[in-house]
Amino acid sequence: MLGTTRGRTAERSKTGGWTSAAMILGGEACERLTTLGIAVNMVTYLTSTMHLGNATAANTVTNFLGTSFMLCLLGGFVADTFLGRYLTIAIFATVQATGVTVLTISTIIPSLRPPKCAIKNGAASCIQASGMQLTVLYIALYLTALGTGGLKSSVSGSLAAVTVLVYIQDNLGREWGYGICACAIVIGLVVFLSGTRRYRFKKLVDSSMLFDIDDIPAEGKKKKQSLPHSKQFCFLDKAAIKDPDVTNVNKWNLSTLTDVEEVKLVIRMLPIWATTILFWTVYAQMTTFSVSQATTMDRHLGSFQIPAASLTVFFVGSILLTVPVYDRIIVPITRKVFSNPQGLTPLQRMGVGLALSILAMVAAALCELKRLHVARSHGLGDDPTGEIPISVFLLVPQFFLVGAGEAFTYIGQLDFFLRECPKGMKTMSTGLFLSTLSLGFFFSSLLVSIVHKVTGDKKPWLADNLNQGKLYDFYWLLAILSALNFVIYLGCAKWYVYKDKRLAEEGIELEEQEFTCHA
C-alpha cells in the first residue's frame, strides 16, 4: 500500500515520477560532492595546514572513509527497521551538514589550527596541531562520516568534487572549499525535503515477512521447503532438528531448514568476501600517499598549476571509460569464449579487478623510484617543499589501473552479493559489500601503523619528507600482499559454486532420492 507521511493513500497523478526522482538524486549528488570534496584533498590539509606526518595524515583519511562505509550498515539497519528511508535521509543529511559546518568553522577561526611554518636558517619549523585543534577536526570529520553512513551514495558529483572543489580549496582557501561543501549538503537537504508531498512512502515492515507460528509444521504434516537440504556444513542442521519433548515451538528454539540453508549460503560467500578486502586497501592509497607524491612533482600545464588531489580525475575518468569498454568490447568477446550471456561472471570480474590492483602497485612502486631518483639527482633529497622537475602525469598509470580495477571489482562484488545472498537477506548482501570497503580502509590504517613502527625513524618507509623515505617499499609490500591474496582468491573462486547451479544440482539429487524411495 502506498501512502503519504500522514497515512493517506498516494495519488499517482500527484506523487512519484521524474520530479520526485530528481529531488532524491539531487540530494545524493550533493552528498557525494560533499564527501568526495572533503576526502580527496584532506591529506594535503592535514600535512600542510595541521602539520601532521604523512603516516598520521594517511591514517586519518582512511579511518574517516572506513568509518563512513561501516556506518552505512547502521544507516541501512535504521532505515529498514525503525525510521524508514525518508526520515533516515533527512536526519543523517542534517548530521552531515553539521559536521561539514564545524569543519568549515575550524578553517576560519585561527585558534582552531596551528600557525604557519616559520623559516629559520633555511629550514621550515612547524608546530603540529594541538589536542584541542585535532579534537574539533575529528568531531567535524566523524559527524560527517555519520551523516554519510545514513545516506545512499551515488557517482553523481564525483568529477566536480575532484576538480572544481579541489582547485578552490588549494587556491582560494579551505574555508571557501569546505564552505561550498556545507552549502551543497544543506541545499541537497532542502531540495530533498521540498519534495516530501510528492514522495510515495512504503510501510516499514511487510507482514508476510514476519515470523508466523503457523509456519512451523505439526507432526506428520508435510511442509514445502523453499531451499533443498545440502550436505555441506551439515553440523548446522542441528538447529532445524525438532526436540520431540518440546511442545511449544517458536523461532527461538527451532529454525526451519530454509533458515539453516540461508546461513550456509552466507558462510559459503565468506571466503570470497574476505579476499576482496585487500583491493580497497590498495584503493585507499589513491587518496593518501599518491596525493602526497603529487604535491612534490611538477603540476604545471602551461601557466596553470593542477591541484595535487585533482589527479584523481584520472581515477574517475578510468571508471567512466572502463564501463563502456567492458559493455561494448569485452562482453561480446567473453560471451563467445565463456558461453556466458553476461560476459564475465561476477567472480571473474572481481578477479580482473584484483589483478589490476597488483599492476597498480607495481606501477606505483616504479613511479616512486623514478621520482626519488630525480629528486636526489637535483639535490632535493632534504627539501620537502621543493618542486621536483618531473611531470605529475607520471602518476597517471597507478590512478588509471586502480580506477579500472574498481569498475570491475565494485560491479562484480555488488552483483555477486545481491545474486548469491538469500532472497530474505538482501539488506545483509549490501552490508557484506560495504563492509569490504570499510575493512579495506581500516586495514590500510593498520598496515601503515605497523610499517611506520617497524621501520622506525632512522630508515622510515613512510617519512614525513617523502624524499627521505622508502614509499616504494610500501608499494612493493602491497603488491606482494595483493599477489598472495589473488592466489588465495583464485582457489576460493574455483571452490565456489553459484547458488543457482548448486540448487539445481541439489534439486535433481533430491528428486532422484525421492524416486528411489518410491520405487
Task: Using the Cα atoms of residue 37, residue 40, residue 42 and residue 45 in order, give the sign of their dihedral.
Answer: negative
- The pLDDT score that the predictor gives to residue 74 is 76
Q: Taking CA 45 as the corner, what is the angle to CA 43 and CA 46, rounded to the nearest 5 degrees?
A: 65
* DSSP annotation string for 209-253: GS--GGGSPPTT-----SS---STTGGGGGGGPPPTT--S--TTT
Distance in angstroms (rounded) separating the CA atoms of residues 180 and 443: 31
Distance in angstroms (rounded) separating the CA atoms of residues 272 and 266: 10
Say which range, 31-45, 78-92, 125-139, 454-468, has the weakest mean pLDDT: 78-92
The residue assigned the cell 607520471 is 394
Segment 193-198 shows an average pLDDT of 70
Q: Which of 276-290, 319-333, 334-348 has the highest mean pLDDT?
A: 276-290
Pairing state of beta strands 297-298 and 388-391?
A: parallel
- Over residues 144-182, the pLDDT tens digits come to 888 887 765 433 466 667 677 887 888 888 888 888 888
Distance in angstroms (rounded) separating the CA atoms of residues 282 and 453: 20
- The pLDDT score that the predictor gives to residue 18 is 59
pTM (predicted TM-score): 0.80
- The pLDDT score that the predictor gives to residue 220 is 41
Q: Are 305 and 397 in contact (CB under 8 A)?
A: no
- Over residues 197-236, the pLDDT tens digits come to 666 566 554 534 333 334 454 444 444 446 666 666 676 6
Q: Is 388 helix (H, G, I), strand (E, B) or coil?
A: strand
Distance in angstroms (rounded) separating the CA atoms of residues 171 and 157: 20
Q: Are 315 and 284 in contact (CB under 8 A)?
A: no
pLDDT, averaged across the chain: 79
Distance in angstroms (rounded) separating the CA atoms of residues 519 and 241: 27
Q: Are 471 and 311 in contact (CB under 8 A)?
A: no
